[in-house]
Structure 1
Amino acid sequence: MIYLDNAATTRTAPEVVEAMLPFYTENYGNPSAVYSLGSAGKKAVNEARRTIAAAIGASQEEIYFTAGGTEADNWALKAAAESCRTKGRHIITTKIEHHAILHTCQYLEEKGYEVTYLDVDREGMVKVDKLKAAIRPDTILISVMAANNEIGTLEPVEEIGAIAREKGILFHTDAVQALGQIPLDVEALKVDMLSASAHKLNGPKGVGMLYIRGRTELLPLIHGGAQERRRRAGTENVPGIVGFGAAVRRAMERMEEKAEKERVLRDYLIKRIEEEIPCCRLNGHRERRLPGNVNFSFRFVEGEALVLTLGLKGICASSGSACTSGETDPSHVLRAIGLDDEEAGGSLRMTLSEENTREEIETAADRLKETVQKLREMNYRYKAFLKEMGKSDQ
């Protein structure tokens, strides 16, 4: 098996699992308890909080643990909207956000808020001047992702943050795909809230975090006990949080080396596809993209068939976000960058990790080339295209 779906989830690193295990079997006490079995868990949670805070240039008091990136996104948007409702009811986001943002915005629209969904260019980039023009006197929140989960484009978050800070507007960024992949500094980015998830950087599933800037007024997510400084009640997922901290520490120690390796393999895979498979299009920004992201659209090919056939050949990839698996409509991200239904429907996302080898990428490229050709041979529109071009299908 060749695993090329790391944007969906990553393998939990052995050292992360090792760090978690004692909190299942030995130090299993409730971290709110005063005896030593509980205090060991509390100490470990605080250590993970410090590690994650340091990774993004925050203080540990600004890190709040959640059950994942989706929960963190929901909390940021819903709580910010509610906290600022007396100041206005206008929110700005983009058409290429993760559904955790888009569906939350739709929910807020049902509650009487107005949402502006910004267009992006053909490479998936938000135009800062368009965002600035969309700001109104009643704008209370801007949410723009740091890196797109499907096409890998890196957004101009720092520029947007400067505008939001100048205007006194809360700014949130979904950094689920970015943490551990690219450098993040909340002060430089001027973000008020930042979401992340452990399982995207070799940590466990089911744990995430929301950074909330020190003086930001934000209502609690869950009411109950005093956990997470009374903003998210409920017994902490100690093993998960410990794993998150270990994963972040690991990612920060090897980020530069890891990114360079992934970029080399990524660019080689892109080169082979563009040189050897006709009628394809690279989606996303060619330079400003995540180190391991490769997203292509292939004409005369159905994306789901491509993913399934590659899967039978031992290649794990996807046709878009894992959170939209099973949906029949083309990707909202690909539509937003101007692709028609045929182009969007023939997309393939391959996301690499530091564990991938040159040999694996060679094999993946070979099998992709074979699969695209075989699927096209069964497509009558492709045969008509070849006939029109004066070519045979041999």
Structure 2
Amino acid sequence: MTGMYLDAASTEPVSEDVIRAMMPFLTEAYANPMSVHSAGKTAAKALEAARASLAADLGARPDDVIFTSGGTESDNLAVKGIAMARIRRMRDAYGESVTPRIIVSSIEHPAVLESARWLERWFGCEVVEIPVDAQAHIDLDALRGELEQGRLDVPSETAKPRNATVLVSAMLANNEVGTVEPVDDIARIAHACGVPLHVDAVQAAGQIPIRMREWDVDAMSLSGHKFGTPKGLGALLLRSRVPIEPLINGGGQERSLRSGTQNVAGAVALAVALRDANTRMRGIQRQLVASRDRLIDAVMRVEPKARLTGDPMRRLPGHASFVFPGLSGEALLVDLDARGIACSSGSACAVGRHEAPGTLLAMGYAEPVAKSAVRMTFREPLAPEQINQIAAAVEESCTSL
């Protein structure tokens, strides 16, 4: 790719190490891991080794890991599957009179928000969106209040839900503005009311340390292409204490929660890519943060009207996001691309949409300002000359537009 690629939050390239690790399971050790012969056992052994490696790098246990096709499927399985299981138990206990509730933050990815809306349409759930502040931090007091409102004053067996809220879902790091959320605090608040927590960690995996069980998170989604695998690979980490219904039925693979012949080469790719990303992160995080902050300063120096979006400190290390009031973000992206700078306006997963980024609207930005958003994301520290080149391109683009 020519020019400078500043859209790592959308996707990353696949490294030669990952490709080399995958190749034996595409060419030689290609057997079905469910087969009982020796070739199948070889594939099964590789699959379980990948599961153990992925779990270790996310602070989980091997039996937490369910391999999927990516973040969208993982989010759908978590939100719909957990909600459906808990709705069934709730209605068994209390009948049809109780309206189940799903709590999400107002800045969730469409894979979470649309899954919640699906439950609203088909299961009559009430979807509650928790507001965020001007830096995209979830309002913990509002979350606590909504959970308290969902308490059921009805005698029940201990094993059955006693809160009309069946699930809380919150992202670990926001894809549009990079703000990192306190998911350990969110887990404590949810669990105090007997409600499980799903965390969308798609944008965070490989960028910041993740400790799923230490944070007491119940379910966590990730997507491999965000940290260097081929597209179409991901996982849901799910603790066995959480009831869940499968969305795909069949041969019973992946704890009967994601039936279908497992992609052994893909599982190996996930494990190798995440291990490499975490190793790289530990070695360069300080430099990455420093170059991010220098880039932010440089952009705001050449364009005084630019405003940083998200938390200036508690944000992903290689994530700089801005609004440019008075300009069109789409026009700015096209002009920057012509000058050799590839970046984006936010989520790359909303096909064909030219709407204002939902996160910025939830943060209180007016729609015209939100539509001026630009996001620059990178995984390696930027050299001073690169920062100067980016700043010069921004200055020229803003002037020409």
TM-score by length of 2: 0.91
Q: Unmatched 5+ residue regions in structure 1?
A: 376-394
How many Å separate the matches in 2 of 1:345 and 1:43? 49
Aligned residues: 375
| Equivalence for 2:265 | 239
| Equivalence for 1:27 | 29
Query: 1:293 Cα deviation (Å)?
Result: 0.8
Query: 1:171 Cα deviation (Å)?
Result: 0.6
Asked if the contact 1:122–1:338 (Cα under 8 Å) also holds between the matched residues in 2, the reply is: yes
Instruction: Kindly provide the CA deviation profile for residues 148-192 of structure 1, in whole angstroms up to 9, marking residues without a partner as x.
Output: 001000111110101112221011000001111111112222111
Q: Unmatched 5+ residue regions in structure 2?
A: 91-98, 152-163
| Equivalence for 2:139 | 127
Q: Cα RMSD (Å) of the superposition?
A: 1.3
| Equivalence for 1:116 | 128
| Equivalence for 1:305 | 331
Change (3 A) 1:91 1:363: same
Stretch moving more, 116-125 or 200-209: 200-209
| Equivalence for 1:388 | none
Matched, 1:94 2:105: yes
Matched, 1:158 2:184: yes
Matched, 1:197 2:209: no
How many Å separate the matches in 1 of 2:17 and 2:385? 26
| Equivalence for 2:200 | 174
Query: 1:325 Cα deviation (Å)?
Result: 4.7
SS of the counterpart of 1:227?
coil
How many Å separate the matches in 2 of 1:44 and 1:265? 38
Query: 1:122 Cα deviation (Å)?
Result: 0.4
Stretch moving more, 220-229 or 43-52: 220-229
Matched, 1:76 2:78: yes
SS of the counterpart of 1:253?
helix
SS of the counterpart of 1:172?
strand
| Equivalence for 1:11 | 13
Asked if the contact 2:298–2:387 (Cα under 8 Å) also holds between the matched residues in 1, the reply is: no
Find 1:105's aligned residue among 94, 116, 124. Answer: 116
TM-score by length of 1: 0.92
SS of the counterpart of 1:210?
strand
How many Å separate the matches in 2 of 1:121 and 1:368? 28
Which residues in structure 2 correspond to 1:348-367 (within 5 Å)?
Answer: 348-354=374-380, 356-367=382-393
Query: 1:27 Cα deviation (Å)?
Result: 1.3
Instruction: Kindly provide the CA deviation profile for residues 101-128 of structure 1, in whole angstroms up to 9, marking residues without a partner as x.
Output: 1111111111200111011000000121
SS of the counterpart of 2:323?
strand
Stretch moving more, 174-183 or 253-262: 253-262
- Which 4+ residue blocks in structure 1 deviate beyond 3 angstroms? 355-358
Which amino acid is 2:303 matched to? Answer: I
Asked if the contact 2:223–2:234 (Cα under 8 Å) also holds between the matched residues in 1, the reply is: yes
How many Å separate the matches in 1 of 2:278 and 2:134? 32
Query: 1:359 Cα deviation (Å)?
Result: 2.8
Asked if the contact 1:7–1:149 (Cα under 8 Å) also holds between the matched residues in 2, the reply is: yes
Which residues in structure 2 correspond to 1:177-256 (within 5 Å)?
Answer: 177-256=203-282
SS of the counterpart of 2:213?
helix
How many Å separate the matches in 2 of 1:193 and 1:173? 6
